């Protein structure tokens, strides 16, 4: 299994900015925009993801709206496979299927085109996003992939917040990989 070297991990961790009390008091927001605009850090990350997934025999990468698009589309191009956006409800123009998931105060919904992964049953799909916290969106995304007849083989996150239970919940459905774990 491909892992980050100590130097690579430090480059990534040092490139992520903490924003105190955002979006509300008591929360420390992990801002990845500073990783994206750091060519060394973004290069380290994308090379790591390529090395990890090049032998997975993936057919598609599904990126979760919106930051999953940034990593997913670039990785799909590097691997020479298709990219599929999983979007918030009402953003896709063709026939879709959708999945609702619980938020702290309410419910949200994501969707994917019904034919996003082609007609082949069991197409191997990696779901990717920037962060997993409580896991609601990621669980809904993995469910959607599987409902299309494809197979979610793993969910990948740049940051995994291990002090919340999202990773554990998602592991009941599929394999989970976090590049960096935050305790």
Point out the residues that are catalytic: 67, 104
4: its two tokens:
């980050």
Neighbour tally for 91: CB within 10 Å: 13
DSSP 123-182: -EEEEEEEEESS-HHHHHHHHHHHHTT-EEEEEEEEEEETTSSHHHHHHTTSEEEEEEEE
CB 102 within 8 A of CB 136: yes
């Amino acid at each position: 299994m491909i892992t980050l070297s100590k130097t690579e991990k430090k480059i990534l961790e040092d490139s992520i900015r903490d924003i105190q009390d955002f979006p509300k008091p008591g929360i420390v927001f992990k801002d990845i925009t500073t990783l994206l605009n750091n060519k060394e850090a973004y290069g380290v990350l994308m090379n790591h993801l390529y090395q990890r997934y090049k032998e997975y025999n993936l057919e598609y990468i599904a990126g979760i709206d919106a930051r999953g698009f940034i990593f997913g589309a670039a990785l799909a191009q590097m691997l020479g496979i298709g990219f599929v956006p999983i979007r918030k409800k009402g953003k896709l123009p063709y026939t879709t299927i959708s999945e609702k998931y619980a938020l702290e105060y309410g419910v949200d919904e994501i969707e994917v085109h019904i034919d996003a992964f082609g007609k082949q049953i069991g197409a191997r799909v990696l779901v990717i996003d920037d962060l997993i916290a409580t896991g609601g969106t990621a669980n809904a995304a993995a469910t959607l992939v599987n409902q299309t007849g494809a197979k979610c083989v793993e969910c990948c996150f740049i940051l995994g917040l291990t002090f919340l239970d999202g990773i554990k919940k998602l592991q009941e459905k599929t394999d989970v990989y976090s590049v960096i774990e935050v305790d």
